[in-house]
Amino acid sequence: MEKERELGRKQIIKKVAVIFLATMLVLTFFSNTIMNYSLPEVDTESVTSGVVSNKVRGQGAVETNSDYEVTVSGSRVIKEVKVEVGDTVKKGDVLFTFEEAENEDLNTAEDELAQKELTYTKDLLDKLPPDYTDNNVEIQNAKEALSKAEEQQKEAKKTKKALKTAKKEKAQLEKDVATQEDEVTTLQEQFDAYGEVGDYNAAVEAVTTLEEDLGKARLELSDLKEDLKDEQELGGDTKLIERQIRDKEAEISKKETELKNSKEKVSTLEKILPSYQQTKDKLEKAKKRLEDLNEELTKKTDKVTELEQKPTLEDAKEAVETCKEALEKAIRTLDTTKKLNEVAEQKSDLEMKAAREEIEELRDKVEKLKSSSDIKEVKATDAGVVCQLDYKEGDKVNADTVLAKIQMSESGYLVKIKVTKAQSKLIKVGDEATVENVWDEDLVAEVKSIKADPENPNQSSIVTFEVKGNVDVGQNLSLSVGDKSNRYDAVVPNSAIKEDSNGKFVLIVTVKGTPLGNRYKIKRADVEVLASDDTSSGVSGGVYEYDNVVTNSSKPLEEGMQVRLVD
């Protein structure tokens, strides 16, 4: 009985646990479902690699190439303003008219000027300026002497350096000469040793001579033998001829021995001839080199002697100091002389200066009064558009006051847009641009200049377009330029690109698997737009192919926010 109750209690506990777990699973499922439906809903597209047309786009206001200021000389009262800001004027159009001017001020100013000039002339004639000619000549002479001494000092520095170099070079040449002399001596000894063996050419000539002499002797011997034969046939005395034959045979034998010895000598000399000739050539070159070195050493010795005879650097420095002292003394003398005259002249100089200033002021006043006395109106000097008016009817204006500014239409029109550094590299000066918001075939634009943005030179550039056609100053033009297509590793829809104070970026959807399903979160990736067309942009930065970027969302998004994808 007790066991049955225990078994029943366990069954109840098991059922309660199963019901609890089932309830928790249901609540967890519905809570996630409810949370998912409360999350921002986003549309995404995958990042791809592809081709984007490199068009650079921007907007800017039309402005003229230049403008000019409208001024008037003399004080005037504006009677009527003939134009308004934005009016187009032609050259010669009247811009302002003025009330009649009085001439009493001019008469008074002319009288006062004449009196002042007369008084000033009298005072100038009475005043004899101090004469510092002698002092100035002395100072000038001292300056010239100092300048010459300083040049000599510079030259002495060069001389000292040159002398040091020349001595060093001379010492090296002396070593080279000694070395070359040793080489010449060695080669001469070798050559002399060859000379003891004999002269090859003389030996060859001796062989030739002996051969010629031997040939003659043999012919003479043959003649003697013929004479002997003839004498024998005649029965005459043959003793003399026989003796001559014996002498000739002895002579021939001797010459044959000499010829043999000479040929042996030639053969011996032929074996050593290459070494002999090589030694001879080396000796001649060595002697020539020694001669050149001795000549160079002589020149270098003369150079050292010449440099040693020039003034030394110490002497030049002393001369400079002497000249400086002389110049300082001359300047002090002049200063002393001027100070003696300064007190007496100071009052006179101040009075004369004041008089000159008054005269100049009066002259300016008279000229301005003359030039403005008959001015009734101011006209446009060039055609253009009035862009600034600073005065109205009844206002009094002073001389050289800027009354208005006019932009000159004949100088042409400009539009300036700001682009990134990367975009500026896609275009060049002279490229034709398309005006996208004005449909006028006669309206043309081209790139005139590409310069760094003064406000952000490392990140952006200012592109200036020259515009020709029917446009108005201040009109906004949308321009596009460039039509080359390039392939980019990361291409995103234009709708995915956002921008804030930190620059351009895209929002990437990241996914993380959980036991209850995938969770999607937002990640920011800063990018640089390299090129754009009407639908897509090639970008670089923290975005890669196959990333999913947000193109639209039901709520504002921030980095790290959890979102749900559109079904």
Residue whose tokens read 């996630």: 32
Q: Is 31 found in the same domain as 48? A: no
Q: Is 399 found in the same domain as 267? A: no
CATH number for 299:
1.10.287
How far apart, in whole angstroms, are the C-alpha atoms of residue 410 and residue 473?
Answer: 12
Q: Is 285 found in the same domain as 156? A: yes
Q: Is 33 found in the same domain as 87? A: no
Are the CB atoms for 479 and 427 separated by under 8 Å? no
Q: Is residue 463 part of a domain?
A: no
pLDDT at 386: 79
Q: Is residue 385 part of a domain?
A: yes
- Helix crossing, 200-234 with 239-308: angle to 10°? 170
Q: Is 307 found in the same domain as 400? A: no
The 10s digit of each residue's pLDDT in 168-195 is: 988 998 898 899 888 888 888 877 776 6
* pTM over cut 0.85: no
Q: Is 384 found in the same domain as 240? A: no
pLDDT at 505: 94
Q: Is 211 found in the same domain as 193? A: yes
Average pLDDT over residues 375-404: 78
Whether 261 shows a pLDDT value over 70: the answer reads yes
Sort strands 503-514 and 498-500 into parallel, antiparallel or unpaired.
antiparallel
Are the CB atoms for 57 and 480 separated by under 8 Å? yes
Number of domains within the chain:
4
Using CA atoms, how far residue 404 sits from 95, 407, 475, in Å, is 9, 10, 21
Q: Is 71 found in the same domain as 49? A: no
Q: Is residue 126 part of a domain?
A: no
| pLDDT band for position 493 (cuts 50, 70, 90) | very high
Could you tell me which residue, 73 or 226, shows the higher pLDDT?
Answer: 226
Q: Is residue 479 part of a domain?
A: no
How far apart, in whole angstroms, are the C-alpha atoms of residue 404 and residue 401?
Answer: 9
| pLDDT band for position 200 (cuts 50, 70, 90) | low
Indicate the residue among 311, 345, 366 that finishes a domain.
Answer: 311
Q: Is residue 192 part of a domain?
A: yes
pLDDT at 483: 66
Phi, psi of 89 (to 5 degrees): -120, 155
The C-alpha torsion from 11 through 15 and 20 to 22, rounded to 10°, is 140
Q: Is residue 132 part of a domain?
A: no
CATH number for 50:
2.40.420.20
Q: Is 287 found in the same domain as 164? A: yes
SS3 sequence, 463-517?
EEEEEECCCCCCCEEEEEECCCEEEEEEEEEHHHCEEECCEEEEEEEEEEEECCE
Q: Per the structure block, which two tokens stand in for 170? A: 């001379």
How far apart, in whole angstroms, are the C-alpha atoms of residue 379 and residue 2?
Answer: 125
Q: In terms of residue numbers, what domain contains 520?
A: 42-54+484-567
How far apart, in whole angstroms, are the C-alpha atoms of residue 302 and residue 292?
Answer: 15
Q: Is residue 516 part of a domain?
A: yes
Q: Is 396 found in the same domain as 298? A: no
CATH number for 96:
2.40.50.100
Average pLDDT over residues 532-561: 87
Residue whose tokens read 């029109």: 413
Using CA atoms, how far residue 490 sits from 56, 264, 426, 499, 530, in Å, is 18, 97, 18, 18, 10
pLDDT at 33: 53
Q: Is residue 110 part of a domain?
A: no
Using CA atoms, how far residue 411 sits from 66, 435, 447, in Å, is 7, 20, 16
Average pLDDT over residues 137-141: 85
pLDDT at 2: 62
Q: Is 70 found in the same domain as 16? A: no
Q: Is 23 found in the same domain as 76? A: no
DSSP 435: E
